Amino acid sequence: MAKPSAPPTVAGPPPSARPITSVDLAAFSLADDQLRVLLVRPTPFGASAADPWALPSSEIAIAQDADLQGCARRTALAILGKIPPYLEQLGSWGSADRDPRGWAATHVYLVPVFAEAAGSSGREGMVQAAWHPIRESTTGLRLALDHARILAAAVARLRNKAEYTSVVAHMLPDEFTLPDLQHAYEVVLERPMDKSAFRTRMLSGTLLQPLNRYREGLRRPAMLYRLKTRRSIVHFPRSLQAKA
Amino acid sequence: MAKPSAPPTVAGPPPSARPITSVDLAAFSLADDQLRVLLVRPTPFGASAADPWALPSSEIAIAQDADLQGCARRTALAILGKIPPYLEQLGSWGSADRDPRGWAATHVYLVPVFAEAAGSSGREGMVQAAWHPIRESTTGLRLALDHARILAAAVARLRNKAEYTSVVAHMLPDEFTLPDLQHAYEVVLERPMDKSAFRTRMLSGTLLQPLNRYREGLRRPAMLYRLKTRRSIVHFPRSLQAKA
DNA sequence: CTAATAGTGTCTGTAAGACATTATAGC
DNA sequence: GCTATAATGTCTTACAGACACTATTAG
């Protein structure tokens, strides 16, 4: 306790060892009409079907990471090849028994991104990465550590935020139509939505910028839009489907 | 990397040192018609007015804490004398420079509690603790480390959640009246609220249990209520004051 | 009775839900 | 013309906001 400017600690003696500290990503995208999450696995060397998939994770690199977001961005860059414009803290999970190596705490970020299908999105460096569809009843996949629980929380948060924010739009490409956007919401929320109410909701406020160009299609062309900003999400005045 | 069941790490070599890891509390109460936050300071020995106040904080005690919530409960017990029924993860702050001792990450919990005024709530063990009123423009107090920023985020979250949840009720005693509750919301949100709409909102749903007893007062007595559960908050169907 | 606080009733505004209708493309 | 999809219009419902009104206590 003779260290410089140590903040007051409430109770107990100074601890001896420190927890393993990491940042995990719950990165979501939409491909082939499915909500998908990015999972990784060690390199093919010795990787068998028994090896569990895991959320992308990096231990904090003290010499390299300026802060938690920086670590999250580094992790995303390594595996996605780009830094996502919108990252949101989901929460943190820490306990004595969630990692067999010892007391471990992880800071989890929710990352909605646009990504093409690309069944198994190549291996980036040392790991194999793939977009796994989110199936019913918490994926069913057996993931490493407590990642199944974290993923369940991430899916719940994503769906909940879809009820009152523009978060789903961040999983679409730069230019999209309102029917595209509605379809994306329907995929995430797993229920059909009313066209008229949906359009009013999305077009009110400062969310979208119309491009005054049209997507040529099989039938009547649809107006193209772009997000005014990809850096943040917009909150709508009311939540959808206010349950009785 | 030859450790048992190590999860795949996305990039970079295994780190050498681990961050200092702690749990901080942003505990709020209502006393004397003011929103207050619990702050601590090292024991009076050598404590001067120059010593900054800080949020209650505990480093993770690997041998003692089962998980992050456990650490938060231990911290709350040490300083409040009781374990609060409702704790909510606010977020985590971690960076190379927020603590002069080195890379430090803290997991912050938002804790609304009922607490009497008690100007300086005695010293519990090694620290001095007091409920400080939340003043305009982020308190104005100079706090230890980056606690001023964390506190600002906590106040923002508390006020935001007051707009669409029952969180404010957790800062009232076990039994209270609807006028009590409305006054509490008005203190937190710093604006007057409509009586009729407020009552409808609070009485719909499963939030309150009427006790069929009355608070005797100066004028007409008011019905007493109790929270159906103190362990969780209730979400209302709409946010208040849907801004244009 | 009056004063003060507790509690209710009525009307309006906003935005979502349901669903019908019109518009514009290819064929 | 027909079909499919894009976009709009109309009506209903739920609930917050404003505010008037009634109810119950002390004195």
Q: Beta-carbon neighbour count of residue B226 at 10 Å?
A: 16
- pLDDT of B2 above 80: no
Q: How far apart are CA B176 and CA A83, in angstroms?
A: 50
Q: How far is the CA of A161 from the C1' of D10 (A)?
A: 30
Q: Tokens 């300026």 belong to which residue? A: A66
The reply to whether A210 has its C-beta less than 7 Å from any atom of strand C is no
* Segment B164-219, tens digit of pLDDT: 999 999 999 999 999 999 999 999 999 999 999 999 999 998 999 999 999 987 89
Q: Rounded CA gap, A136 and B164, in Å?
A: 29
CA atoms within 13 A on the CB side of A187: 21
Q: Are A131 and A36 in contact (CB under 8 A)?
A: yes
Beta bridge partners of B26: B110
Q: Is the CB of A237 under 7 A from strand C?
A: yes
Average pLDDT, chain B: 89
Residues B119-143: b if buried by 16+ CB within 10 A, e if exposed: eebebbebbbbbbbebeeeebebeb
Is residue B97 very low, low, confident or very high in pLDDT (cuts 50, 70, 90)? very high
Evaluate if residue B137 carries a pLDDT over 70.
Answer: no
For the whole model, what pTM was predicted?
0.91
Distances (CA, A) of A127 to A132, A175, B243: 15, 31, 47
Per-residue tokens: B130: 């007091």
**Residuewise pLDDT in 10s, chain A (244 residues):** 334 445 556 655 555 699 999 999 999 999 999 999 999 997 666 666 668 899 999 999 999 999 999 999 999 999 999 999 999 999 999 999 999 999 999 999 999 999 986 644 455 566 889 999 998 755 567 898 999 999 999 999 999 999 999 999 999 999 999 999 999 999 999 999 999 999 999 999 899 999 999 998 789 999 999 999 999 999 999 999 754 4
CB of B49 within 8 A of CB of B64? no
Cβ atoms < 10 Å from Cβ of A163: 16
Q: Which residues of A touch B9 (CB under 8 A)?
A: 22, 57-59
Q: Which nucleotides of D are covered by protein (CB under 7 A)?
A: 3-10, 14-20, 23-26
Most A CBs within 10 Å, among B10, B65, B74, B238, to test the A interface = B10
Q: Supply the pLDDT for residue A15.
A: 52
A7: which chain B residues are within 8 Å (Cβ-Cβ)? 54, 57, 99, 144-145, 147
Q: Which residues of A touch B108 (CB under 8 A)?
A: none
- Taking each continuous run of H as one helix and of E as one strand, the counts in chain B are 4, 10
Which pair of structure tokens corresponds to residue B197?
A: 């709409």
At residue A230, φ and ψ (nearest 5 deg) are: -95, 0
How many A-B residue pairs are in contact by the CB < 8 A criterion?
A: 194
Distance CA B235, CA B201 (A): 11
Q: Which residues pair with A45 in a beta bridge?
A: none
